[in-house]
Structure 1
């Protein structure tokens, strides 16, 4: 993992909602939805996850080993796996990140007590290689997810990567297939996606895009697999608003390549050296990080504009396989590399990005947030046997109905504006879709930390009778769950009835809401 400089104790949520319900309504917004004009399907992989061998993101956070006193299945923590299953995790990217380009897959097979250890390129964290190919696919099987495996270009070779793909996918009696069987797996693994390197412009090798384009073609040509188990290939692209890598690679990609990755992290501060605090921040850092994350929309537009020229048939997707918030290290790595707390603000950041991804569903079929456990904008935090779910976890849980749903166009009229100093952002963000269960879902975000808002909802061709769902909010901007108070913030039930054929939804201040509309 890496990134370039981007552009510029709490009461329970139920009590907070009770307080907010009596607060005056300051504005009215109208949302018009047209279900007769369906848009692109929101690929479930937009809600993908990322597990890198970094800090306690894998070891302790997820993997404790089969001999641990912490309840586990084949070494994976039962509490963490159970919680992740509630998110219907569609896809997991592994083993990195920057770790991918120092990872040698043969170090992670065979008897665990005989596997060599190595060090992550981001620091001095020793990786014991107890989690290798077989263990990763155990996790994939438990989650019912697809595997997105990232190969080593930086310190690897074409032969090494070719052998790994053959080891995972071969159905023949080849030496590598026999080795896989000796290690306990006769049938091939299902590798849905395979990434050729990671951040080759930085931690993956400090390469230029033209050089990597040639290298990529060489690697891709030798990654052979049976037709029925052939992974879809993803090229490692650029970072942020720089479209150079997207331009160069999209002109060269051939064969099984279905996407180019782009990485974009969001900070609250003005510079990468001053990213802002995860907790205890002032309102200025509340609005700045929301404003910065909304720039994801323009970032996607810039890359898609390049793809529209080089790939008019739209065969190449934009894979945002690292995104999320990144704050200053408050404890200087004392707990774990890139460990950070996660507050209500992060849940809003996640939801705003979901809405942007939905808007660009045709060109953005896959994203993976960084990361699943204990690293950056994590779903889950652990401390030995303890586990807490973060506000971002609840955002992902609330948006499960949007996986593989059909996006629906909507128009927001008379939207409010949230302003602080020289920064102004839209007060309300919304997204609508027809889910696989046939229901029409509406997601809402109120970015204003002070004022609730009334939202009038109109669905063309039908009279909406009401809405039922959940809302996530709290009294404090930095409301978060801790090991001492693990349920300080969680979603509360929400419902509203139409009156006189009209539906009005009161969205609390600083809130994320997802409801099913009763048609």
Structure 2
């Protein structure tokens, strides 16, 4: 019998209210949760660029994480770490953003091209700060993490992108370089060989064919390290930088420097600043970049947290939903045709670095199961809003916050975040469909500004679903650290012929991978039993990310 959506929601809400009053026991099984996958209500195609990445000259992201040098004993392809290339390629990444981040706002791209032995050395400003670091600049060991050698620049970056099958995305410097430098960078990347001075220089450097870079960030965090602009001022800078740009036959996808978290005033005032010159200004925009970090908790150490701090971080990660909806609403007031999409090109948690790497490896840590759930929560959020979000890039790829990889010299591992990206791959290119999750909220306590415990709660089981032919992919995060969630799954009246599960979970909420134990936390596959009439009731493990692959009858 087909269950109507209204009846489904009505019954589920009654069950959810009762569940909030029911006592919990360790690893208890609750039967009140429901999921309805509405396969006839498409949200939009899931852009593979939701599975994009971001790298910056910060700590050991580039030097050691990516670039080891052609003469290194560490296996490499043209100086780029082989293990990184081989494993990232498996994820079929969409776009990689470079060179920052705040580093982009001090960067001159011309420093990073030409013979490497003639490239200048600069102080990397990320090393010259005590922001969340354990040592002062003068105490850090000398090396490329402290003194930028520019051995990895535009050509090496584009080569890296080609190796892993990703599109390059370059962030221009609006704070310390003028429009001409931006236009010359575009010329160097995209002009046909030997057509101009800069394309001739590119060919001389060994790259005769144009790099064909479509994605360009017009500044980065212009509300902060990118110039401390007011939104009206940044709108003027954007108009100036984009007034006329040669394409050299490459379609340009310009991305504006969007808000810091929930700063809706930045979004509104920027779009007002474009609209005063007419709709054609807004039409220049491909995307509007939203940055949001859910931060850390307690002592801000990646693998040290209480159960309440586990929930605290996950609840703050789940705020991405409201941020997307709030900014999207304002954008629509100026962009009636909905041409401009959101680009969430910095997201994730932000902890202090681990002790298994040198101090100069700023914020480098391997992450835990908690960080994996942060990844799952965000990816599901983006997919539920596939009609609004065109690209998303966790910060960052390797050897720092929310990384998929962790390396030091010849040691190299995949973090739990890597496995979440692998699990979610079938969504890319599929059609996101409306999905209703009805599950009890999870209560916890958090500390207020006066360090007093206050009651709080977060959404329970939640996720997203997509359809591709007769295959439905359902991904879900169960943030409950102790309780299995028994859930009835309905697919708009359709019958399920077969199902399979892939799960990332542990009885230890601090589970992680390390150099000594690289497979401490990896996904496992489990069979799924389908009930009579193609019905499915599934038990989602505590503290888990789960993918269910459902084949329709």
* TM-score, with length taken from structure 2: 0.86
**Which of the residues 481, 484, 488 maps onto 1:456?**
488
Query: Quick check: 1:126 aligned with 2:130?
Result: no
What runs of 5+ residues in structure 1 fail to find an aligned partner? 1-21
| Deviation sequence 1:216-262 (CA, Å, 0-9, x none) | 11111243222x31321011122010112211222314453211111
Aligned to 1:4: none
Confirm or deny that 1:298 pairs with 2:331.
Answer: no
Counterpart check, 1:192 vs 2:224: no
Structure 1 CA distance for aligned equivalents of residues 492 and 359 of structure 2? 55
Judged with a 3 Å threshold, the aligned counterparts in structure 2 of structure 1 residues 219 and 213 are, in CA distance, closer, same or farther, namely same
Alignment partners' CA distance in 2, 1:290 and 1:23: 20
Corresponding residue number in structure 2 for 1:204: 226
Q: Does 1:137 align with 2:158?
A: yes
Question: In the TM superposition, what is the alpha-carbon distance from 1:275 to its structure 2 partner?
Answer: 6.6
4+ aligned runs moved over 4 Å, structure 1: 329-333
Shift of 1:205: 1.4
Gaps of 5+ in 2: 1-25, 129-145, 275-280, 446-454
User: Hey, what's the Cα distance between the residues in 2 that align with 1:136 and 1:196?
Assistant: 18
Look up the match of 1:61.
65
Give how far 1:426 is off. 2.1
Q: Name the residue aligned to 1:429.
A: 462
Secondary structure of the residue aligned to 2:201 is helix
Which protein has the larger Cα radius of gyration, Structure 1 or Structure 2? 2
Q: Secondary structure at the match of 2:203?
A: helix
| Contact 2:380–2:476 (CA under 8 A) maintained in structure 1 | no
Paired position in structure 2 for 1:14: none
Instruction: Summarize the Cα distance change of 1:284–1:276 in structure 2 as closer, same or farther, 3 Å threshold.
Output: farther
Match of 1:478 in 2: 510
1:179 to 186, 191, 201: 201
Q: Deviations over 1:83-134 (max 9, x none)?
A: 1111111110001001111111111111101100112232232211111111
For residue 362 of structure 1, give the secondary structure of its aligned residue in structure 2. coil
| SS of match in other structure, 1:299 | helix
How far did residue 381 of structure 1 move?
A: 0.1
Task: Find the counterpart in structure 1 of residue 425 from structure 2.
Answer: 400
Cα shift at 1:506: 1.4
In the other structure, the counterpart of 1:267 is 295
CA distance in 2, matches of 1:23, 1:448: 10
Structure 1 residues 514 and 459: alpha-carbon distance in aligned structure 2, compared to 1, 3 A threshold: same
Contact 1:268–1:286 (Cα < 8 Å) also in 2: no
Q: Deviations over 1:13-45 (max 9, x none)?
A: xxxxxxxxx965233422111212222112111
> What TM-score, normalized to structure 1?
0.91
**Matching residue within 347, 350, 355 for 1:326:** 350
**Alpha carbons 2:466, 2:472 under 8 Å: kept:** yes
CA distance in 1, matches of 2:188, 2:291: 29
User: Paired residue for 2:247?
Assistant: 225
Cα distance in structure 1, aligned partners of 2:95 and 2:345: 11
* Distance (whole Å) between structure 2 residues aligned to residue 247 and residue 24 of structure 1: 47
Higher relative contact order (CA 8 A, sep 6+): 1
Q: Which residue of 1 aligns with 2:119?
A: 115
Aligned to 1:90: 94
Deviation of the 1:329 alpha carbon: 4.7
Cα distance between partner residues in 2 of 1:451 and 1:461: 28
RMSD: 1.8
The one of 416, 425, 450 aligned to 2:440: 416
TM superposition shift of 1:412: 2.4
Q: Post-superposition shift, 1:162?
A: 0.5
Distance 2:384 2:219 in 1: 28
Query: For the Cα contact (< 8 Å) 1:449–1:509, is it kept in 2?
Result: yes
The SS at the match of 2:417 is: helix
Measured in 2, the distance between the counterparts of 1:181 and 1:306 equals 45
Check conservation: 2:174, 2:219, Cα contact below 8 A: yes
Q: Distance in 2 between matches of 1:330 and 1:234?
A: 33
